[in-house]
Structure 1
Amino acid sequence: MSTVAYITARGLFGRRRVLLLLPLPLLLIGLALICRAYDVSPDQWGQPVVQGLGLAVMLPVIALIVGTGVLGSEVDDGTIVHILTKPLARRDIVLAKLLVAAGVSALTSAIPLFVVGILADSVRFGLALAVGAAAGAIAYSALFLLLSLVTRRPVLLGLAYILVWEGLLGRFVSGTRVLSIEQYVISFADKIAPTGMLDGKVGIPVAIVMTVVFAIGGTIYAVNRLAAFSVAGETS
């Protein structure tokens, strides 16, 4: 499993796709620094920057780029066949890919959110955002990795989930929030460091249970889906 994880990480950072991870974190920190430089009160810029950009856009988009890339590109170009012919359990392949996807997504998102949290409020708030981002990265990665195995358009479906389900329905239709990873992240961060900048719509018990459901359920389904692939790279 460690070999698969190493190859996955090397392949991920060796592609131009990794450059797509940089603009949003830089934009997030840049906006926070500009607001601080002009003495704009965090009450005015905190929620739109931290929640509106950081948690609602940066975190899921980074997880989408990485989560669909660690396995989806291999399915598309057929190189998945070389992995499937190795004496490796499908479970180990999926877990290795998920470990890399979640780790890269968590680090790329948590670090800028930690910095912005300090600029907006305090070190505690920065840590709260980082913890929430890490939990969200795991759930998002499991979902998007699964999408790369069940459809040829994982990025399109992932964007639909982020923009339509979480971005539109999640804000105006209360029943959809229970399936919104963004809401879980907000609830975690707000519980650790309560501020007026975050507006969580689900309770902590729901957030914990559903994060586990997304992470474990998505992983199990992905393992079963990968097991259905034949050596020819087609599903049975």
Structure 2
Amino acid sequence: MQDNALAVAWLRGFARAVEEDEDRLTALDSAIGDGDHGINMRRGTSHVHRMLLRDGPSGTMGELLDAAGRLLRTHVGGAAGALYGSTFQAMGAALPDGRAGLTGLGDALQEGLTAVVRLGAAAPGDKTMVDAYTPAVAAFREACAHGRSLGEAATAAAEAAAAGARSTVSMQARKGRASYLGYRSVGHLDPGAVSTGMLFRALAEEITNGPEPALFYGRIGCLPGV
């Protein structure tokens, strides 16, 4: 799978996951937020899906992720739009134009996390998407450091993101609308952490189940130079 084909598959997979779980994400957000996370994410990812149907893999991986980020920033709206938009744009910026090869998916994922932390001023334990994103990147890099395949690294990241999302149940929110609830936010999943888990799950599924994975592994490594 070529790098831009993976980007298309990943974005489509994420859009499909959001569509399938829209009601759940909205219900989770209704408990501690504005009650619109699923609705907003569905709207934004639908625009991304339409872009892919219209243009297909007509750009590099970096260009496609950047374009998706701009659409999410515009159409999701609110904090989630800014955070997801910044994430995808930062990942896109971390990937070269394709003529000189790719610097590594691990670095791109890290840049996405850095953008989220910078924009949201959140840290692990604040009950945000950072609680899913941070362990996902750590698991991805650890798997790479131990010589695992890209598919194994992505799977490890997805599992860590899901565990991180589940860990938000016991947390008291310190950021966003949920923080207004104080101790009453304890006992609820953070919807942003859940949707982040879906993002990493979609990546793992497309890498491990996509056609001709060996071609993709030959073009992009876990770490720079791999």
| TM-score, length basis structure 2 | 0.32
Greater C-alpha Rg? 1
Q: TM-score w.r.t. structure 1 length? A: 0.31
